[in-house]
Structure 1
Amino acid sequence: MTAAVFDHDGPWTEEEYLALGETSQRVELFDGSLHVTPAPTPRHQRISRKLGNILEPAAEAVGLELLEAVNVRLQSGRVPVPDLVVTDPVDLDDVYVAAADVRLVCEIISPGNASTDKVLKMHYYAAAHIDWYLLVEQETGALRLHRRRHAHYVEHSVAKRGEVLELVEPVRAKIRPEDLVP
């Protein structure tokens, strides 16, 4: 993949992006530019797995899917790879999930990449009409649930250590920060 990325001239098309195939890095497409990050840390992956373990049965109980690290097509040329998504039933063999099928998107904020999750992706997910956005802060353990209002997100609820975040839409789940973040 490295040679294909460095030998490429000009903006990336969605077709060129998808032709890269599976990679060991997380590669996302934002308006013709690739955003490449190394594989997540063990801490990040532990949080993702534990959050997924909580959300998966809640999603299945209401006929939804929980998916991890999949391409989500927000619009042409905009394909992030969120940590977790709760979706309507989708074709599990498609190369991406359409934003219209995503009910909740979850990002685990990496300390060196916080602005991508808190600014860029937050703006893009809201613009794609994804109603719920859950951010997990690795450093503090805080959980921040945002709800879309028109073209942007507003903070709906927050849970810090010793508190519980209660989801009622699109799934019912109770999440304690200390159960996710060591």
Structure 2
Amino acid sequence: MTTAIFSDGKPMSEAEFLAIGTTPERIELFDGSLHVTPAATPLHQKISRRLANSFDPGANAVGLAVWEAVNVRLNPSRIPIPDIAITTEIDEREVIVDSSAVRLVCEIISPANAATDRVLKMHYYATGGIPWYLLVDPDARTVLLYRLAHDTYVEEAVATVGDVLHLTEPIVATIDPAELLPPV
């Protein structure tokens, strides 16, 4: 993680973060510090697209929307970019989606950032009040669904290749790891 301390000695503000603008890197704000990672691999993007496409019918049926790689404000010093977010109606022209509109976030684990997705982001999303967290682990060929219980996530369901995960909240959808994840 890269710490962004400016000449005034203070952590980066949301306004300073937004002033960075569009970059080829994925830049997230965690407690006033920047977390910078390169663009995702083609495999990561393929999984994200497949998953987002599979969520669209269920989201549309209940008036929700599916987004890939949007800025989600958990609080002014925490703005992660989940791989997928399912939201209520939002202003599509705004740079940031407030967490109050987010019903589910999904992270696809990259080997270099596994701890960030499994620990840090999971904690941040839970304290941000996002009801559902979906974690896809391509190496373990596993999809894990967590639901929010107070301010922490508890495991709701797990599916590996050979199993199917059925979502009933916030949308109805079926995830088949064998179809989602590439063969080994």
TM-score, normalization by structure 1: 0.95
Report the secondary structure of 1:103's partner residue. Answer: strand
- Please list the CA deviations of residues 78-98 of structure 1 after superposition, one character each: whole Å capped at 9, or x if unmatched: 100000000001000011100
Report the secondary structure of 2:86's partner residue. Answer: strand
Structure 1 stretch 82-91 or stretch 52-61: which is displaced more?
Answer: 52-61
Partner of 2:101: 101
Superposed CA RMSD in Å reads 1.4
CA distance in 2, matches of 1:8, 1:175: 44
CA distance in 2, matches of 1:88, 1:98: 10
Q: 1:22 offset after TM fit, Å?
A: 1.0
Cα 1:172/1:36, change in 2 over 3 Å: same
Which runs of 4 or more aligned residues in structure 1 lie more than 2 Å from their structure 2 counterparts after TM superposition? 5-10
Structure 2: gaps (5+ residues)? none
1:157 alignment partner AA: A
2:116 alignment partner AA: T
Q: 1:112 offset after TM fit, Å?
A: 1.1
- Please list the CA deviations of residues 37-95 of structure 1 after superposition, one character each: whole Å capped at 9, or x if unmatched: 00000110000000011011211111001011000000111100000000001000011
Partner of 1:146: 146
- Written as runs of structure 1 = structure 2, the 5 A alignment for 1:11-160 is 11-160=11-160
TM-score, normalization by structure 2: 0.94
Report the secondary structure of 1:81's partner residue. Answer: coil
CA distance in 2, matches of 1:130, 1:173: 18
CA distance in 2, matches of 1:137, 1:127: 22
Report the secondary structure of 1:60's partner residue. Answer: helix
2:82 alignment partner AA: P
CA distance in 1, matches of 2:103, 2:162: 27
Q: Percent identity?
A: 55
- Whether the 8 Å contact between 1:111 and 1:138 is mirrored in structure 2 is no
Report the secondary structure of 1:54's partner residue. Answer: helix
Q: 1:8 offset after TM fit, Å?
A: 4.5
1:160 alignment partner AA: T
- Whether the 8 Å contact between 1:141 and 1:180 is mirrored in structure 2 is no
CA distance in 1, matches of 2:146, 2:178: 20
CA distance in 2, matches of 1:6, 1:114: 22
CA distance in 2, matches of 1:42, 1:74: 28
CA distance in 2, matches of 1:112, 1:138: 13
- Whether the 8 Å contact between 2:5 and 2:12 is mirrored in structure 1 is no
State how many pairs are aligned.
178
